Every structure is written in C-alpha cells, then in structure tokens.
Structure 1
Amino acid sequence: MAVASALIGMLVLFFMGTPVAFALLMSTLLYFVVEGSEPMVLLVQRMTGGLSAVSLLAVPFFIMAGVFMNRSGIATRLLNLAGLLTRRMHGGLAQANVMLSVLMGGLSGSNIADSAMSAKLLVPRMTEQRYPVGFSSAVTAASSLITSTIPPAIAMIVYGYVNNVSIGRLFMAGVIPGVIMAMLLMVAVNLIARRRGFQLPQREPVPKGQWLSITRAGLLALVLPVLVIGGIRFGLFTPTEAGAMAVLYSLFVGVFVYRELRPTTIAQATRESMLASVNVLFIICVASAFARFLTWEGIPQQMTELLSEHVSGPIAFLLLANLLLLAIGMFLEGNAILIVLSPLLAPVAAEFGIDPVHFGIIFIINASIGTITPPMGTVMFTTCSITGAGIGTFIREVLPFWGVMLVVLLLVTFFPALALTLPNLMF
C-alpha cells in the first residue's frame, strides 16, 4: 500500500508539471507517512547519505568547466571550426550544427545546455540563410543528444554513481555510439538539404592564414576532453580529479589565452555553475531516499524474478527495456527516468548477463531520445522556447532525426562491441 501510494503520487506530480526533485521528495515522504513503522529520520539520513560519495564531486566540477568554457567564447570558436569543416557540404550551417554538438560534447556535458547554446548561436544564422525555423530547431535539438554520449556527459556520471558502474568505462563506451549518431545525422541533413534546396556547398578556397587561425583557436579547446580521458586512462587522476583539472584548464584558457574571462565574468559563471550543480545534486539527493525504500520493499528483486520468468533471453529483455523506456520517455523527464528506473532495470540486465556498461549506454540513449519526444520532451521545449518554433512544426521536422536515433539505439542494442570495444581496449 505504501509503495503504491508513493508511486502513484510521484506520477501524479510528474504529470502536474512538478519539478523532478520535488516530485521525488514528496512521493518519498508520502511513503514514510503511509508506511508508518519507519522513523522519519531515516529519510533525512538517506538524503544526506546520497551525497556522501566522492565521485559526485565530478558533477559540479564538469558543470563549472563547461560554463567557464562557454563564457570564454569557446562556443564561437568551435562554431567557426565546425563551419570550416562543413562548408563544402550541402546544408553547411545545418551540418555545422551537428558538428558543433560533437565538438561541444566534451565541454558542456548536458544536452539541454548544448541545445540552448546552439539555439541562441546558430538558429539566427540559419534563419538568415533561409532555413525554416522548424527545421533549424529540429536539427539543433536532435544534434544536442550527441552530448549525452560524448564524455564527460553528466548523465554518465550520474548513471555510474547510481548503479555503481565505472565512470571511466562509461566515458569511453559513449564515444563510438556518439560518432555514429553524428555521422547518421549528417547523412540525414545532407539528404534533406539536397531535396529541399538548402544552402549549396561553398567551393571558394579559404585563405591559408584564416584557415590556420580558425583551426588553432578551435583545437585549443579540444584539448580538454583529451586531458580528461587521457588522465583517467593512464591513472593520473580519477574522474573526480579530472573534473577539477578541467576547471583549471578552462580558467587558464579563458583568462590567459582567449582573455575573455574577467573577474565579473568569472563571478557570474561561478553563480551559474552553482545553481546548475544544486539542481542536479538535489535530484540525486532525494532519488537516493526514493531508491532506498524501493530496495527495502524488494521491488528490484520482484522485477528481476518477474522478467526472468517471462523473458526468454538478453536480446528479448533489451528490446522490452527499449520499448518501456521509449514509452516512459514520452511523459517523464530524462533525469527522472535515469535516477528512478535505472536502479530497477540494471540488476535485471545483470541477471541476463548483459554488461553493465553496455546497458548503461543503451539506457542513456533511451533517456536522451525522450527529451525530443512529445509531449514532455525537455530539449524540445527548451529549443522551441528560444527559437520561437511551434511545437507542431517542430514535431514534423524532427521525425527523420528521431528515426536516426532509433537506428543508433538498435545498432548499440544488437552490437555490444560498439559500446564495449574502447572500454575493453583502454581499461
């Protein structure tokens, strides 16, 4: 009765539009009230204990590094580099939009942050080139999902902490799926641009001095993901320490190289980082308490027994999990799916012999697809609110890219080597 009351209360609050953290907090509180036998102090203890892991320090560090890099003008320099690489393609600016998400993935770590940045930076330029605003918004939102798989994605850090999976291995596991996602999105953009006559390729040569200047400025920013992954791989520092190094590097580049970070800018960026970190960590805090009472009641074990009895093998389970997560992603926010459902499904996946890193990447891709899926897609609403695109227009334009995401999801599901090759080679 207590579990049913908590779950029903959580769903009602989600559908009412209550923020994820408060929905989880109120539903957990409802469980303790209805259950009655457990002292309320356990709720407070579990919430505070949920933030005691040192690995969670990586979250504010990487958020701060991303904010500092964005404030230092790095996004504009990476856009120039992306434009240089895609200028000879059909739909050059749309292609640059996808490429920018690949380059920014190692910096922002958040698909919502990436979509908001690209919507402000790129969509006005695309409108000047006569791209329909609905198409521009759809490309921006779809390409931002690459950020969830390119390290150091915040989703990977949270998933690794919640399910006790190696964050370093998750970082490497997302690289190949992220690259495949980008390539297929660029193929889709090319086909659409050719069919609808968007922005013909630019054939005139770029002066050598300009080419070198743009490349040098852009490549300097791309040292950050190399620093993070290389440092973790060679044992120089843990993922948490890598986050601290990322902050120091972003400050160095912003203050001494690009010289766009001033004391006032640093203060604003620090405040922005603090607010973003509190939002993520508060969700983790209350989710720890929520997951604890599910464990007390044996819900994960019951799900494992139920699925083990009715599902014939790992492929059948993965397909069922994909359908479940895609359906739930239409109504629940990505962080809620990640924090609430992954502790329930990950043990079941382990029972079927599925590698926890492989399942983590599948789970993260599913949660990402939900962010551009109506009616509750957070990236969809973020992008449309900035660009002014209508939701109906956005949905029509995003359908081809949604199909691309499904292809990537199925490829990773049926070919585990796409996610596991790099982690197995490097660790």
Structure 2
Amino acid sequence: MRYLILGVTQARDETGAPLSIGGARLRALLVALALRAGGPAAAAVPDLVDEVWGDDPPRDAPAALQALVARLRRALGARDSIRADPAGGYRLAVADRDDVDLHRFTRLARAGARELAAGDPAAATTLRTALGLWHGPALADLPEPARTAHAASAEAHRATALRDRIEAELRGGGADPAALLHEIETLIRQHPYDERLRAQQLRVLRAAGRPADALDAYEHTRRALAEGLGTDPGPELAALHAELLRPPPPRAPEGNLRPRLTSFVGREPELGSLRADLPRHRLITLTGPGGSGKTRLAEHAAAAHPEPAWLVELARLDHPDAVPDAVLSALGMRETVLVAREKTVPEDPTALLLEHCAHRAPTLLVLDNCEHVIGAAAELAERLLTHCPGIRILATSREPLGVPGESVRPVEPLPPAPAHRLFADRGAAARPGFAPADDPDAVAEICA
C-alpha cells in the first residue's frame, strides 16, 4: 500500500490502483495516521480526535474514533491495515516509511541536500524526484488548525528543496536558462526578500549573457530590501554585484583549426578511440602511408577535444631548423620572434617557444606531416613535453617519432564499405547526379 498526503489524500493498492476514501473525516484520519506511520510511537487517541474533529469533537470521542477506524479499514480492504496499539492509540501498517509520500520526500530532499553540498551532479535528479511527489498543498484534507501545525514543516522543507534543486541545476549548467529564470522570478514574487533566490536570479542572467539585466535586477533587490526590511544586500549578493561590475577577462584563443568544406567519412572507430585516449596520453602519433587520412582524423579528434587545439603544418618546410618557427607562427607568436631577433643577442626560437608554453593553459598541438622533418619534430616534441606540463601533442607521420612515452596509432586504409561511401560523397560533390552504381567495377577498383 502507498499513501499520498502531499495534496489531496489518496491510498493506492499494491498494483498502484487508487482506493476510494470517501468522506472528509475518513481522509483526515488517514492523513493523521500516515503522518506517524513507521515512527516509534502510535498515534494517541486524544491527538487523533483533535486532528480529525478539531473544535467540534463527538460526545463519546473514543467510540466515534473506533468506528471511524473500522470504516477506514474497510476502505483500505484489510483489517490489519490499521492496528490498535497495546498502550493505546492506533498505527497505520506500512512496510517502509517510504510508503508515505511525505516521508519519502523528506528522505530524498535530505539526500539531495547532502549531494549538493558534496558537489555531486546527481543532486538535481534526486531533488527533482523529491519535488515530483507533491501534487498539492501538504496534508490538504487535515482540518485547521491541525493542518497548519503539521504542514508548516513540510512546506518549509519543500521550499528549501526547491531552492536546492535550482542551485543544483545552476551548477550543472544543463537547464534551460529561460525556464529557470521564469521559475526563479515567480518564486521571487512570492518571497521578495529571499536573498538566495535573488542571487540565483543574478547568476542565471549572467550565465545567459545578460549582465546589464543582472545589474538592473540587483538594483531592484537593493531597493526592495532597503524599503521592506531596512537592510542592505548580504555578502553573497554584494560579491555577485562586484563581479558584475568587473569587466570580463579577455577570451583565451581557442586554437586555429579551420572548418573543412568536405564531409568526414568512415573513421568512426578510430575517432572514438582517439577521443578516449587523448586525455590519457600526452603524445599520440598517427602513422600510415601518405593519403591514408591521418591529417583529417587528427583534425577531427582535435576539434572534439576540450582543450584549445593548434594545427602546425610541417609539410611545406624545407629545413629541420624551421620547425620551432612553424610552431611559433601557428601559435601567433611570430611577432615575438621577430622582435627578439632585432635584439643585440638573437634568441633561440626553441627557447622562446618553451618560455611561452611553460605556464600555458592546457593546449593540444597537432604536428602534421612530421616525416619531412622527423628528427627536428621529435626533438622539439620531447622538449615541449618535458618542460611544458600543459602541452599535449597529436602528431601525424609516416613513421613514429621515437619519443619516450609516445603512443603510436597506425591508420589503416578504409575498409570497402566506408571507402565506397567516401567515393560516392566526393563524386556527388564534384558532379551533381553522379551515381557509383553506373560503373560499380570501376568504383570498386578505385576504392581498392
């Protein structure tokens, strides 16, 4: 059996089907018993009389209560659903306190609060589940003043869980900002002096890229608190206001990968493997013959990597000494090198590169076509990895670099099916109406 008292009172059997609980006093008795279900003490007769009849108790209250208990047992379909306690009073029989939605809500809300405090991303789901148990005002069928006395704690706990859920979604970043803002502002209209809600409003506006609106909302908050309570905003709101007044830091470069004009076909397994391996290895080299697709595979893997990626094209270099300059140029450091060379004592471009990258935020370098300058590329890669902890390298080459810690990934020719897909895609792009089926033998030979 399950008992729902967070709204209009309901009882459901083991299949989930609702049972008919007719009559206001019958529902009030069920609420009063469910409140204490699974607890250490039975519901005392005087308490039940007060909560069911309020200020108008029957003349023989214990007998009237006993008759009402008998009616409720029949409605629930089992005599042992409500048990008389030897010490006096009655107990609602439950297998677990979670059989009463109020007690399940309380447990989940507390668990969600603990998860939120620990930074556990599961907090939002736990709190949504808890709040989903509500289907109206708590203990709606309990008459006054008993309802107010018992429901106050549940409603306060609900309000806290709601704020916690908003906080969890704010931290998780997956919620729709517009929907979250609408919900927060609806709550603010009900609780205009709640500073936690006001702070959440500012944070949502800031996250949505609306700093001017966030500053305006802060000013409304400041006036509301001053006029309504005679106080200034607390530390959290004041700190948020100070952050909003500071200019945003300049955005770090996000790499130099260029969008490609053609599709990427047939390397799904290799791409998935690279995406999994890049966070674990600081140097991965894709090897294979020319034209096998190493560069495109490296570019797509780098584009999906969370760190900024910089492509260094080495194929056009005609001398190994040009490798450090090529990396500096790709990183936008060419002017630094030129200025350095105008000094009385010219600086080594490798030294400049190491100095620039030593304290750089995590960065992925894609060294493409290393085979033309394999020795210089290997030497520079080893020095960067040794002296620059934030640097990660994805290289393409016809042969491994031979650097300690290198993880080599051979890139094999495309299997027939994706090779045919690639050929068909490129053919259609070059000649509208192209159909590989018109000459399947020629297509098979070319793909092979």
More strand by share: 2
| Higher RCO structure (Cα 8 Å, ≥6 apart) | 1
Common fold: TM-score over 0.5? no
Task: Give the TM-score taking structure 2 as reference length.
Answer: 0.18
Task: Give the TM-score taking structure 1 as reference length.
Answer: 0.19
More helix by share: 1
